[in-house]
Structures are given as structure tokens and as C-alpha cells.
Amino acid sequence: MRGRPGATLALAAALVAAIPAAAPRAASVIAPTFDAMVARAQTVFVGRTVDVRSRWVSTTSGRAIVTIVTFDVVRTLKGELGAQTQLEFLGGTVGEYRMEIPGIPKFRVGDEDVLFVDERGQPVSPVVGFMHGRFRVLEDAGTRRRSVARYNFEPLADVKDVGAATPAPRVSSARALSLAAFEDEVTRAVRRQREAR
């Protein structure tokens, strides 16, 4: 997690004022390809959300709300992390005030995700591609099969579908990419990119 909010945070705070709670707005963020996401991420990890807290911070442009999310690190697929890590996102709710940034992922205690993270430059969202760098871990209650879905719970069939120009056909959760297979794809991409340097 980064320390004091930087220029990016100050600019975003100036553009998005903290206002009384209102209905969320839709976001339109272009998803990077899977390979681009792996390349851009400093760390990729499987994590379980254990704490979510929002607070006011001071920036050069005034006050803003940030949300600190704490994760238990289940597995690290790229980079190095300890047993826990924290990420700081611009926006959140403090009392009657909510600062809403379109495309910022929202976390709840108990969520399990694969996260692609780039904290360079103290970003508004450290998750690569805003919500697109968050992949939900789902478990089938009957079979206990663990699979991966996009940020919106749409099951992911293949990593080639991430950031594809043409939308992939919908698949059932039973045909979704397993968590183990997704992790293997990440580690293979990390190895390929390292060898290509």
C-alpha cells in the first residue's frame, strides 16, 4: 500500500467531489488483454478479503475518500508478498458521504479473487484495468469445483477471451476455466515474458 496520496489522487479528487450518497454510475473501461495484464502487473495473487475501511485523506486539491482493502494472500503468482497485503483505492463511503469512481472494484469481507496489481504512481485503482484486473474465484456447492469468473461474475472459458475485440460466447459455470488452470496460465505468461527480455 502506498503512503501519502500523490498527484494522481489529487487530480482525481479535484474531478470527483465527495457528495451525499447517490446511485452508482456505470463505467466503460477497455479491458487489456491477458498478456498485457500480466506484463503490467507488479504482483498477481490469489487473495481473500479480510477487511475494508474507508477514510478521509487530505490532498493538494482538498479532501478525498480512500478505501483500504486488506487481503490474506492465499498464493502469489507474480512478484513477492507476505501473508497479508493492503491496497488503497480512491473512493468509498464515510458516514453520509460517498465518493464514487466508475470502474473501481468494490470488495466485501470473504470475497476471494485473483488480482493483477500495479501500484506504481499511486494510482486511483491499483488493480490493472480497474475492474478488469479482478477475477472472482467461485466454488460450485455440489462439486466443490473452483473456477474463475470476470469481475461481473461472468464465467471465463479461456484467457484468450480477456480483452478480446469480439465478445466471447457465454459459458456455464461448469465449463468455466478452473482456478488451477487460470493460475497455470498466469505463471506460464510470467515465465514467457521473463524469458523474452
Examine the pLDDT at 14 and tell me if it is beyond 70.
Answer: no
Neighbour-count burial for 75-93, b at 16+ CB within 10 Å, e otherwise: eebbeebeeebebbbbbbe
In a domain, 157, yes or no: yes
Task: Give the residue with greater pLDDT, 24 vs 115.
Answer: 115
In a domain, 25, yes or no: no
Rounded to two decimals, the pTM is: 0.85
Question: Residue 135 corresponds to which amino acid?
Answer: F
Mean pLDDT along residues 138-145: 92
In a domain, 1, yes or no: no
In a domain, 80, yes or no: yes
Host domain of residue 48? 7-18+32-195
Mean pLDDT along residues 170-196: 94
Which class for 152: exposed (0-12), middle (13-18), buried (19 or more C-beta within 10 A)?
Answer: exposed
In a domain, 55, yes or no: yes
Tens digit of pLDDT for each residue in 1-12? 444 444 454 445
Task: Give the residue with greater pLDDT, 191 vs 197.
Answer: 191
In a domain, 24, yes or no: no
Look up the CATH number of the domain holding residue 84: 2.40.50.120
In a domain, 23, yes or no: no
Q: Please count the structural domains in the chain.
A: 1
In a domain, 93, yes or no: yes
- Write phi, then psi, for 132 (nearest 5 degrees): -70, -20
The share of the chain scoring above pLDDT 70, in percent, equals 86
Tens digit of pLDDT for each residue in 55-80? 999 988 899 999 999 999 999 999 99
Q: To the nearest whole number, what is the mean pLDDT of the chain?
A: 87
Examine the pLDDT at 194 and tell me if it is beyond 70.
Answer: yes
Q: How confident is the model at residue 167 (pLDDT cuts 50, 70, 90)?
A: confident
Question: What does the alpha-carbon distance between residue 104 and residue 91 come to, in Å, rounded to a whole number?
Answer: 8
